[in-house]
Amino acid sequence: MAKGDVERNGIVGMRKMCGVKGGCGDKKDERSNWEALWEIQNDEKKTTLADFKAGICYVVSFYSPILSLASSVQFSDDTPIAATSSTTPISSLLFLLHHLLKPHFHFQTLISQNVLNSHHSPTIITAGDSGLKFRDKILYLQSLKINPTKALQKNPDLRSALLSSLQSIEHCLSSMGIERSALGRILDMFPQLLTADPSNQIYPVFEFLLNNVEIPFSDIRKCIIRCPRLLVSGVENQLKPAFEFLMKLGFVGANRITCRTTVLLVSNVDHTLTPKIDFLMGLGFEYNEVAKMVIRSPVLLTFSIENNFRPKLEYFLEEMNGDLEELKRFPQYFSFNLEGKIKKRHRMLMQHRLSMPLSRMLKVSDGEFNARLIDMRLQLVEERQL
């Protein structure tokens, strides 16, 4: 990029960052913008305003793709920069100058005439420049539709990670049939995977699912897409204990874990699975009865005791005068929305002094439920006329 192009692009970028609209605009406003930055950056006045302006033009022109990210990232000196309502694009630029380039060269080097007079690409600065590497990583994350700001906040190790190591994660997941669109969603959800060691952290999960759980290779992709948390769950401390617990509960043979139920493997045995079994047994059910309920409706083990089991149980017993034996036969009751379906349909039945088994009341669509309700009302009228 020629010097003239650098300066023109830099001035345009600078004016956008300073909130100045239009073309060249008021020269006085433009000069005040440059001088404000010059005063902040150049405390000891070691650099002339003209050189400072030229250097800023160069940085804005080349690093504009990452300026919007700079104010919310931690770099190698571990100085936290939090994005707040007062954060401005100008502060992003200063942050870039202070942190992104500081480890490798001084500001005066950046604005040297040797660089500005060059007709080559800006990559001539240095092959190992951290700014270039960081920019490449940002562009790579964006190509995967990963939010770079969120990823860097959740995984600070991305600062020092090599681009090749990020690409190795993509290759690892792609080798198991996960397409790029799904891969980006998974990595955006769990950015810690971007700096994971495939050999020690990811492939062992695949091997466990294939060899221990006996998930067919063709279904591994479905397992991961349905439950990406599998990839950040340790085999020895999480997946294996959960798998053994579920096998004892009855998830074997025809009821074995499949790609539809591998989500249960990410549940902690002591803090999630056992308390739910204990809660159901506390209703008066035997262990084998609870096991049958869970096998019939595995999703029970994913529900919250306080937000699901308890309020739905209270409504069933107190408002519906239900029998626990019916819950044993139809544990799927806990899968339905309390306000949107259970209460609504129960109240419609009560309004007409009718009753219906849980399965008939809940498993059908609204249209079919209304049709059944009309049939029951007509039948009731006919019986009264006899």
pLDDT tens-place string over residues 273-323: 999 999 999 999 999 999 999 999 999 999 999 999 999 999 999 999 999
Angle at CA of residue 131, ends 62 and 169, nearest 5°: 115
The number of beta carbons lying within 10 Å of the beta carbon of residue 167 is 11
Q: Round to whole Å and give the CA distance between 138 and 369.
A: 53
Amino acid at 384: R
Token reading at 100: 């992104």
> Higher pLDDT residue, 386 or 325?
325
Q: Give the integer Cα–Cα distance in Å for 203 and 193.
A: 12
Who wins on pLDDT, 378 or 347?
A: 347
pLDDT at 93 over 60: no
pLDDT at position 121 is: 36
* 27-39: pLDDT as tens digits: 455 555 555 555 5
Q: HSE (CB half, 13 Å, CA atoms) of 64?
A: 16
What pLDDT does residue 51 have?
A: 54
Instruction: Give the pLDDT confidence score for residue 118 in this predicted structure.
Output: 35
Q: What are the sequence ranges of the domains in the chain?
A: 1-143, 336-386
Let me know: does 194 contact 187? Beta carbons within 8 Å: yes
CA distance 293 to 38: 71
**In sequence order, what are the residues at sequence separation of 6 or more whose Cβ sits closer than 8 angstroms to the Cβ of residue 291?**
249, 250
The one-character DSSP state at 125 is S
Residue type, 189: M
Residue 340 near residue 346, CB atoms below 8 Å: no
